[in-house]
Structure 1
């Protein structure tokens, strides 16, 4: 009778250990998946930062619009650059001597970086006018 009780206790202990290992493996798998997603997001952010840094100090007339491809860490990303004109005529600001301030139009450049899996990150930049 004692021998059968020992086998049951051993099987229960093995079952508990197996469940703990299974839970740890699932948690580790989820953690690795999230860290891989974060790595891809950081790559997108690095490309976007590098591209916007060069566009910020360029003259508006020299900025090319369109789509280009870049290879970064053995993955091919698509960079899309578009220009938009912001019209500020609707905004009227009053100064202390009741004269209106006249604003000229501002060109805003929109930069979008797209990963091969379809995820993207974009921003708007106001370059030198």
Structure 2
């Protein structure tokens, strides 16, 4: 049985309505947050918690190759929803052409969760 929805104290995970991969979930904080560009250094633990929730929903759906996943955020203004949400996609090795473009690493419109954490650490180190 597939797990399509998980709820934590401050996060929810659910299947994307337009999946770009066999496993495509969104991890969303219950408290409203604008987008990844509005985050600060003190949000790094939240991003980490969102990543853990994404790994959990994959594992609960019997996807265990955590080396074949991509987790990240659309970078403004390329956000279709104005509420922070982490995309969790797997297996990355089987993404179609369009999904490879939409969720491409090092693009103007998508940032991985790891890249976002690094950027938040660096921005705050420079201030």
| TM-score w.r.t. length of structure 2 | 0.26
Structure in which a larger fraction of residues adopt strand: 1
The structure with more radius of gyration: 1
Structure in which a larger fraction of residues adopt helix: 1
| TM-score w.r.t. length of structure 1 | 0.26
